[in-house]
Amino acid sequence: MFLGNKKRHSRDIDPDEIFLDSSNLPQFDTHQFEGRLEQPIPKLSLALLWGFFVLVIVLFSIRLGNLEIARGESFARIAENNRLERVPIFAERGALFDRNGTPLAWNEPLLGEEFAARVYNKMRGLAHVLGYVTYPARDTKGMYYKESFSGMDGVERAYNDVLGGTNGTLLIETDAQGGERSTHRESLAENGENLVLSIDARIEEALYTRIENLARDVGFTGGAGVLMDIDTGDIIALVSYPEYDAGVLANGTPHDVETLLADPRTPLLNRAISGVYTPGSIVKPFLALAALQEQLISPDEKILSTGSIAIPHPYLVGEESVFLDWKAHGWVSMREALAVSSNVYFYEIGGGLPQGGGNEERVGLGIGKIKSYMNLLGFEKRTGVDLFGEEIGVIPDPAWKEKIFHDVWRLGDTYNTSIGQYGFQVTPLQAARAVAAIANGGTLPIPRIVTRIFSDDETNIGGKVLPPKRTQLPIDSLHYAVVREGMRLGVLEGTAQGLNIPVVEVAAKTGTAQVGTVKKIVHSWVTGFFPYEHPRYSFAIVMERGPSDNLIGALYVLRGLLEWMAVETPEYLK
């Protein structure tokens, strides 16, 4: 039977259409329905079948139209990319120079790569200032999934966009077998700009070497130093010991990187801006400035130091809390107190004295004003230096004590804060900056590393010069003179006599900050400025975690540096 044939009707009935042949019965196949009466397919079934075929054709046509018309442009682009490969044309990263034009970072051809290798000056002490980069990278098929250098620390990170430039694009046409047919430069690479730093690489290395030698000889775990122009904020040297090898971080083996990261001396830490240290007595010039501005004491008024100060015990009735001086200094004025670093003098002007005894009752600054003036001088704030990772430190106050110790603030806490102990923490750069304001008579400079930006078609004496920034402090200029005189007296006959050297007149303040619960570990500090009569540079040096019985500290580093500068860079001492 075939579809579409009409069934014939007969008036006679054929017996074969009704009865099975008896001879055929044994072979009757029930699965094939042999001997079955045939029936026609209903018209409805045929209509449904034809409808299904039509629906399939319509859906196929719609899908084909979507692929060829609606998404044709997209597929055309894919097809184009299959024969046009886009390859980056790497921009040259900008070079770095010190203030004298000495190359600090540059590019050299890298065998087997389209981009150059980043090369750094081997002079010591530069790692934390310059930083390092990571390189462009390919996948297993040789395609670049990272097409640019990335600055990861120091100037390389802070000025990554300026140094990096913009890559160009090269179009490579290939045939079906992957062979190159033609090339077309779609866009040109724009090289990065070059930077001139405020750093003098010679002084940087000399300071680093002296910090390193003292740390190894005496047993300090680390150290940092800053030398800064007091007017412009230009950083002549910014050193952190120990430093790291930029090459290890950029393309070292996993084992080398792990070894560096596991070093207990934390060489990745830039101690000059990210290290926070108990300052000890280097805060005393700043307290003296605040007391003068608040008219709590005159420069010539004297306070008696018998070697300690006693106040009523907060818990034990009839008992006293005793706060020690490092020796009995007798009657001292402000200049003398700065020179000999009298604790009792600064206990009183910082916290006051609630009762008589050896001295009369006195009103001190109090922790609120101490914190306010310290903030004014830039402590517990970022300095604004053009480097990443700067810490702000801590000036302890009642809210801090409540948060850390869940206890109330007491007069003894103010006394300890007044001499730079307790929870007080500062960075070396903060200290050098605050001293700069004392040296220049009240201007707080914004420290900076980069002074000039220039392109390849300019010279390093042209380009864009970055202007210095500074803030004027609301403190009487006469008060700065008193503090400067006290710091100079410290060099002539006080705790900083080791800096009384013929090569340059220095004004300085030393500090020894006890750390840890047993007080057998100390940070050794020296801050100040030079030349004394016509100040040009401020400095701050800290030697980290040395033995308390050691008598050689940060002052020794500075003395060695100044004596070296007198021979190698005398222009800074004039």
Read off the pLDDT of residues 379-399 as tens digits, 9 standing for 90 and up: 999 999 999 999 999 999 999
Q: State percent of the chain over pLDDT 70.
A: 84
Which range in 255-269, 326-340, 342-356 is most confidently predicted, on average pLDDT? Answer: 326-340
pLDDT at position 6 is 43
**pLDDT reading at 154 higher than 90:** yes
In contact, 124 and 208? CB cutoff 8 Å? yes
> In this predicted model, what pLDDT tens digit does every residue of 175-211 receive, in sequence order?
665 666 667 667 888 999 999 999 999 999 999 999 9
How does DSSP assign 114-159, residue by residue?
SSEEEEE---TT-HHHH--EEPPEE-TTS-EEE-S-EE-SHHHHHT
Encoded tokens for 78: 């894919």
Q: How far apart are the first and last CA of the chain?
A: 121
Q: Lowest-pLDDT range, 58-72, 205-219, 245-259, 312-326?
A: 58-72
Residue 2 has pLDDT above 60, yes or no: no
Residue 222: per-residue pLDDT: 97
Structure confidence at residue 84 (pLDDT)? 72
Q: What is the mean pLDDT of residues 14-29?
A: 48
Instruction: Output 181 or 468, whichever has higher pLDDT.
Output: 468
More confident residue, 325 or 314: 325
Instruction: For residue range 439-466, list pLDDT tens digits in order.
Output: 999 999 999 999 999 988 776 666 788 8
423 pLDDT tier (thresholds 50, 70, 90):
very high
- Domain 86-136+146-193, CATH: 3.90.1310.10
Residue 7 has pLDDT above 50, yes or no: no
Cα–Cα distance measured from residue 110 to residue 382, given in angstroms and rounded to the nearest whole number: 39
Cα–Cα dist 314/156, whole Å:
53
CA distance 308 to 170: 77
Domain ranges in the chain with CATH number 3.40.710.10: 201-573
Rounded average pLDDT over 323-329: 95
Residue 16 has pLDDT above 60, yes or no: no
Question: Residue 4: its pLDDT value, please?
Answer: 45
Rounded mean pLDDT, 503-519: 89
Average pLDDT over residues 62-83: 60
Q: Which residues contact 118 (CB under 8 A, 6 or more apart)?
A: 93, 105, 106, 107, 132, 133, 135, 149, 250
Q: How confident is the model at residue 70 (pLDDT cuts 50, 70, 90)?
A: low
| Structure-model confidence comparison of residues 167 and 30, the more confident one | 167
* pLDDT greater than 90 at residue 403: yes
pLDDT the model gives residue 81: 53
Check: CB of residue 233 under 8 Å from CB of residue 468: yes
Report the pLDDT value the prediction gives residue 1, as an integer from 0 to 100.
43
Tell me the CA distances in angstroms from 463 to 95, 376, 454, one per residue in order. Answer: 14, 35, 4
Distance CA 24, CA 27 (A): 6
Copy the structure tokens of residue 433: 């900056």
pLDDT for the residue 208: 99
Q: What is the pLDDT of residue 18?
A: 45
Per the CB < 8 A criterion, the answer to whether 452 and 196 are in contact is yes
> Which are the contacts of 244, defined by CB distance < 8 A and separation ≥ 6?
127, 128, 260, 267, 268
Q: Looking at residue 23, what is its pLDDT?
A: 47
Regarding pTM above 0.95, the answer is no
Higher model confidence: residue 38 or residue 346?
A: 346
Say how far apart CA 296 and CA 288 lie, in whole Å.
10
- 10 Å Cβ neighbour count for 421? 20
CATH number of 201-573: 3.40.710.10
| pLDDT tens for each residue of 335-371 | 999 999 999 999 999 999 986 545 678 899 999 999 9
| Highest mean predicted confidence (pLDDT) among 47-61, 147-161, 305-319 | 147-161
Spatial strand order of the sheet with 521-530 comes to: 235-241, 222-229, 537-547, 521-530, 507-515
Is residue 96 pLDDT above 90, yes or no?
yes
Please give the mean pLDDT across all residues of the chain.
Answer: 88
* pLDDT of the residue at 50: 73
Alpha helices in 26-93, H assignment, sequence order:
43-65, 72-83
Range from 17-31, 160-174, 240-254 carrying the lowest mean pLDDT: 17-31
pLDDT in tens, 485-499: 999 999 999 999 999
Average confidence (pLDDT) over 66-75: 61
In this structure, the chain runs to a length of 574
The type of residue at 232 is T
If phi over 0 gives left and psi between -120 and 50 gives alpha, with beta otherwise, what is residue 32?
Answer: alpha
How does 222-241 read in b/e, with b if 16+ C-beta sit within 10 Å?
bbbbbbbbbbbbbbbbbbbb
CATH 3.90.1310.10 boundaries in the chain: 86-136+146-193
DSSP 8-state class, residue 190: B
Percentage of the chain lying above the pLDDT 90 cut: 65
Model confidence at 561: pLDDT above 90:
yes
- Burial string for 504-543 (b: 16+ CB within 10 Å, else e) reads bbbbbbbbbbebeeeeebbbbbbbbbbebeebbbbbbbbb
